[in-house]
Structure 1
Amino acid sequence: MNFEFEYLLLLPVGFVAGFLNTIAGGGTLLTLPLLIFLGLPASVANGTNRVAILIQTATAVKGFKSKGISTYPFSFYLGMSAFFGAMIGAKLAIDIQGELFNRILAIIMVMVLLTLFFSPKRDYDTIIEKTTGKSLYWAIIVFFFLGIYGGFINAGIGFLMLLILPYLNGLSLVKSNATKVYVVAVYTIGAVVVFALENQINYLLAFILTIGNASGAWVGSRWSVKKDDKVIKLFLVITVSSLAIKLWFF
């Protein structure tokens, strides 16, 4: 494949995606459509994006750990459960037709935006951690199905985890984020293996995107949890809405 200057768009978009994925979620809603617009078939764009997500989340895990934030081994149990689900989801994503995949992605993008804006607020100071016993077993079951979704498309899964972990396991926002990136890192290994075996990865674009994603993840993981949600939400709604419209109609 000849190098095109349009590919350099992956660097700033990847940085923003890595940053958003680490502090909240939604980065895939930017990178996956961009890869499709750069000419990749839907399944190849999906597989290519996973390489960047794998390195991004591994970087974020190190970033959180450098600040003393970790939920291991709780995050490991959830990650392994999601790992097996992700291999199923990735296989489903490869087998689906490109046009249908684009439509599904457009619908998911809109649903994620609605979830982002209408999800209930959570008082993280009043919750109690529950990472053992029945709460752990329920989380393992739930994250298996999250893994299927993550392996299939991954878009917006960060928002789902940030909704589930505080309610199901009583984790604070920062610990939920740390758990989220660890789980995604583990299950993405399974997804990457499936996409690689099926030759559904463009390694040149994956390398470029990875540089942006990993840089954004490192900055995001070390940034204060007290972020300006309004600015991020405004950015997401404008960008994601535009990409969803283009995916559906063009």
Structure 2
Amino acid sequence: MALSIWEILAIFAAGVGAGTINTIVGSGTLITFPVLLATGLPPVTATVSNALGLIPGSISGAIGYRKELAGQRRRVLKLGVGAAIGGLTGATLLLSLPSTAFETIVPVLVALALVLVILQPRISKAVQRRRERNGTRPRPDGGPALYAGLTLASVYGGYFTAAQGIIYLSLMGMLLDDTMQRLNAVKNVLAAIVNSIAALFFLFVADFDWTAVVLIAVGSAIGGQIGAKVGRRLSPAFLRAFVVVVGTAAIVQLLLR
């Protein structure tokens, strides 16, 4: 599809914005997806092109947070398996289910995730007090509940990706005893895995627009580095507030679509 110079600039700028937002919190798809639709791409083609284009941004963000990943190899490997399975499942569902299949449940999922993010400090303190009373220690990988939750979130991520990172952060914040910045680093790796698995699947079985893919890829790679530099400087409270603001905007946009 031939694009005007303004459409090219718009897609590139959206890629930069999406890469930045995805690295800090997530929901970058809510920037790129409407822009792709505005250029005339069909919804499924836009979704596939977006997934392919955001891979470099996800990888760039994960690299930018490499210091926060120290000591988390076992956690990332275990949760990464569930992310890969979920991402492939979601990509398959995208091509087999009607485009409206997730439209009702997605705003509810994001809203629930935001509530968990807001309540996470209180939940963590309550869980810690209970562990002290029972004499138990937290599991470094979050246990079966976290694995199942992140795998299901990855199914959604392979299907659409919008606000996927917010759901990841809410689940890990509730079930893992770690800092928000270290959890954010894991989130970026899981998102990179989901995007890559889904994109590889799409390469062989779905239509996409190479021009849009390249523009988003270059932009999101730049944005990933910007997001890593900005995100790691944010305090836990500010990062949590930023998650809530972005997530609320995501819900509004999803409801108005």
Shorter-chain TM-score category?
Answer: 0.7 to 0.9
What residue in structure 1 maps to residue 190 of structure 2?
183
What residue in structure 1 maps to residue 50 of structure 2?
49
What residue in structure 1 maps to residue 227 of structure 2?
220
What residue in structure 2 maps to residue 143 of structure 1?
150
Give the 3-state SS of the residue equivalent to 2:11 in structure 1.
helix
After superposition, the Cα gap between the structure-2 partners of 1:204 and 1:109, relative to the gap in structure 1 and judged at 3 Å, is farther
Deviation at 1:178, TM superposition (A): 0.4
Aligned length: 240
Output the TM-score relative to the length of structure 1.
0.82
Listed one character per residue, the Cα deviations across residues 109-152 of structure 1 (whole Å, up to 9, x for unaligned) are 576367437843433996686324xx344333322222211111
Q: Are 2:222 and 1:211 equivalent residues in the alignment?
A: no
Listed one character per residue, the Cα deviations across residues 55-113 of structure 1 (whole Å, up to 9, x for unaligned) are 11110111011x45442221121112111121111111112334x36xx4486357636
Distance 2:31 2:104 in 1: 11
Give the 3-state SS of the residue equivalent to 2:46 in structure 1.
helix
Instruction: Check conservation: 1:75, 1:179, Cα contact below 8 A.
Output: yes
Give the 3-state SS of the residue equivalent to 1:123 in structure 2.
helix
Give the 3-state SS of the residue equivalent to 1:122 in structure 2.
helix
Output the TM-score relative to the length of structure 2.
0.80
Q: Are 2:60 and 1:62 equivalent residues in the alignment?
A: no
Q: Which amino acid aligns with 2:91?
A: A
Instruction: Check conservation: 2:49, 2:213, Cα contact below 8 A.
Output: yes
Give the 3-state SS of the residue equivalent to 2:65 in structure 1.
helix
Deviation at 1:2, TM superposition (A): 1.5
Distance 2:49 2:85 in 1: 20
After superposition, the Cα gap between the structure-2 partners of 1:106 and 1:225, relative to the gap in structure 1 and judged at 3 Å, is farther
Deviation at 1:163, TM superposition (A): 0.6
After superposition, the Cα gap between the structure-2 partners of 1:171 and 1:13, relative to the gap in structure 1 and judged at 3 Å, is same
After superposition, the Cα gap between the structure-2 partners of 1:87 and 1:62, relative to the gap in structure 1 and judged at 3 Å, is same
- In structure 1, runs of 5+ residues without a counterpart are none
Distance 2:234 2:57 in 1: 18
The alignment yields a C-alpha RMSD, in angstroms, of 2.9
Q: Are 2:27 and 1:3 equivalent residues in the alignment?
A: no
Q: Which amino acid aligns with 2:59?
A: A
After superposition, the Cα gap between the structure-2 partners of 1:231 and 1:225, relative to the gap in structure 1 and judged at 3 Å, is closer
Instruction: Check conservation: 1:110, 1:244, Cα contact below 8 A.
Output: no
What residue in structure 1 maps to residue 133 of structure 2?
none
Instruction: Check conservation: 1:76, 1:182, Cα contact below 8 A.
Output: no
After superposition, the Cα gap between the structure-2 partners of 1:119 and 1:68, relative to the gap in structure 1 and judged at 3 Å, is closer
Q: Are 2:164 and 1:153 equivalent residues in the alignment?
A: no
Give the alignment partner of residue 120 of structure 2, picking from 104, 109, 122: 122
Identity rate, percent: 22
Instruction: Check conservation: 2:27, 2:250, Cα contact below 8 A.
Output: no
What residue in structure 2 maps to residue 193 of structure 1?
200
Listed one character per residue, the Cα deviations across residues 205-225 of structure 1 (whole Å, up to 9, x for unaligned) are 011012222212111112212
Instruction: Check conservation: 1:88, 1:148, Cα contact below 8 A.
Output: yes
What residue in structure 1 maps to residue 134 of structure 2?
none
Q: Are 2:41 and 1:30 equivalent residues in the alignment?
A: no
What residue in structure 2 maps to residue 241 of structure 1?
252
Instruction: Check conservation: 1:15, 1:216, Cα contact below 8 A.
Output: yes
Instruction: Check conservation: 1:15, 1:213, Cα contact below 8 A.
Output: yes
Deviation at 1:24, TM superposition (A): 1.2
Distance 1:168 1:118 in 2: 11
